[in-house]
Homo-oligomer: A and B are copies of this chain.
Amino acid sequence: MPPIRAAGRPSDNLPMGEFDLIDRYFKRPATRNALGVGDDCALLSPGAGMQLAVTCDMLVEGRHFLPTVDPFKLGHKALAVNLSDLAACGAEPLAFTLALALPFADAAWLEPFSRGLLALADAHGCELVGGDTTRGPLNICITVFGEVPQGQALLRSGAQVGDDIYVSGTLGDARLALEVFRGTLSVAADAFNAARARLEQPTPRLALGKALRAIANSAIDVSDGLLGDLGHILKQSAVGARIATESAAGLMGAAGAALPVDQRIEYVLAGGDDYELLFTAPPAQRRAVEAAAQAAGTPVTRIGQIEAEAGLRLVDGAGRPIDRRYASFDHFA
């Protein structure tokens, strides 16, 4: 779309037009797709018997990332959070579109951003097939496409009473790093660096998601906080759950070792930005879950059970209810 008025800035720091910008930083030879960046539409051909899984995330400067973030890491993360949604469906990445609003065409930002973005894309065979660039407050909107065999996608709505509840990897580290950035927490440099890597360059659990296709009954990725995201599964599956908070405390990475146990539990249960998989599977599948986790190289931990009674119950080591509220994020709450 053309702008409604002539460009507000008489001169940019780069004599680069919209089409040059796409060509220089984002255009790559199309392989899997009939058409890559540069036609009215990209054309995708999902395999026979495959469904296309589609998801979309928008990242806003000052809200999802700090203006000071390394653009290379931001490029990685912008795609990673979308790939994490594919992982939660058990889908395999295929392609993505990128829409980018930038205050001005800044090579010092675009070059590392595109490098970080495309490095992760290449690692997962996920092609950039189209998009849009415009002038505006920094905003990154990515839509990714994956494929999954017809009927095999993992859904939020599939949890069954009696299912075990699992989560992959470690949780809460991203929140720890965020609190350090916010100035509310101070930890040793090693701990901070480990946690910061989780915040800035999360790893989408694609291999695990795919391995869980025939095993898990439901799945979601943990982006807004474990309890909040579990809430989506419970609501859409019309079930309740019981979570053992003591196993939760152990879910934090090494960076959390110095924190009081209550803080660790809070970061694990309501930290957000974790991009781990939260899923449920019948107890009869425990060995299959273990095998899937091993094959994917991603450890998983059993943290609770799905129950018929609505609501989410936190219990201590002796099974006694814990009466404490943990908030998860909501962009308009």
Residues of chain A having any CB pair with chain B under 8 Å: 1-5, 7, 12, 14, 16-21, 34-35, 38-46, 48, 51-66, 81, 85-86, 88-89, 91, 95, 97-102, 104-105, 129-137, 139, 141, 143, 145-146, 148, 150, 153, 155-157, 178, 181-182, 219-221, 223-225, 236, 272-273, 328-333
Contacts and interface: CB of A to CB of B under 8 A. Distances in A.
26 contacts: A1-B64, A2-B64, A2-B225, A2-B328, A2-B329, A4-B66, A7-B333, A14-B332, A17-B331, A18-B333, A38-B236, A40-B85, A40-B89, A40-B156, A41-B89, A42-B53, A43-B148, A46-B52, A57-B99, A60-B101, A60-B135, A60-B139, A61-B136, A63-B136, A135-B331, A139-B139
A2 B223 contact: yes
Contact of A136 (B34, B129, B139, B223): B139
Given A2-B328, A18-B332, 17 more contacts: A1-B57, A2-B329, A4-B63, A34-B51, A39-B89, A39-B155, A39-B236, A41-B91, A43-B51, A54-B129, A55-B130, A56-B131, A63-B134, A63-B136, A64-B134, A99-B141, A134-B331
Contact of A330 (B18, B130, B132): B18
A297 B148 CA distance: 40
A145 B273 CA distance: 29
Nearest to A57: B132
Contacts of A178: 4
Contacts of A65: 4
B1 A223 contact: yes
Contacts of A61: 136
A43 B1 contact: no
